[in-house]
Amino acid sequence: MRVLGINGSPRIGGNTDILLDKVLEGARSKGAKTEKVVLNNLKFSPCQECENLRDDGSCIIEDDMQPLYRKIEEADRIILASPIFFGSLSAQTKMMIDRFQCVWRAKYILKKDIFKSKRKGGFISVEGSNRKDFFDNAKAIVKNLFATIGVDYEEELFCSGVDEKGDILKHPEVLKKAFALGEKIALG
């Protein structure tokens, strides 16, 4: 079982990063092999809506997204983590998602499934206010990504009211839920 965690936060060691680490720890406790990708450490451009698209669903832009496409294709489970910025996903997360436009085109226009096997995934997110509707907006975008890449949206964990770096540590019940989410996603 390979579980890929994708961290869309620009803040290493912040609340999103801590929660994702706890999810991956839970998955490892059940024997899963885990890997974490930090989008902010990658060098990639946003979608350019290229005119010379390939019909195989691959992106023509050669950058750090190419290895990430492979990691996502090879993963059995995917956990996407993003803080809420201005009522939605972080720019890093949204930029990555937009780069799946080539896959979306292949799947929905050309009727080619690039990611054939059904896999499970989850979304974890934190936000500084108490606007739970912000999670709904972000969740809709993640669900669209998951549908495009053949991932069933199975799990979610949201925590509002955490803004300062490390505030999530004041919420041991959320950390426990994150660990349990990791266990569950690895088992099933």
- 64 CA to centre of own chain: 16
- Report whether 15 contacts 95 (CB < 8 A): no
pLDDT, position 187: 93
Task: Look at residue 95 and tell me whether its pLDDT is greater than 80.
Answer: yes
Burial of 123 (0-12, 13-18, 19+ CB in 10 A): buried
pTM of the model: 0.95
Mean pLDDT of the chain: 95
Separation of alpha carbons 93 and 7, rounded Å:
8
Residue with tokens 């053949």: 150
DSSP-assigned beta bridge partners for residue 36: 5
Dihedral sign of CA atoms 48, 118, 112, 69 in order: positive
Domains of the chain: 2-187 (3.40.50.360)
pLDDT, position 99: 96
- Report whether 154 contacts 121 (CB < 8 A): yes
Classify each residue of 75-88 as buried b or exposed e, where b means 16 or more C-beta atoms within 10 Å of its C-beta.
Answer: bbbbbbbbbbbeeb
Q: How confident is the model at residue 115 (pLDDT cuts 50, 70, 90)?
A: confident
Helix (H) or strand (E) holding 78: strand 77-85
- Encoded tokens for 128: 């500084």
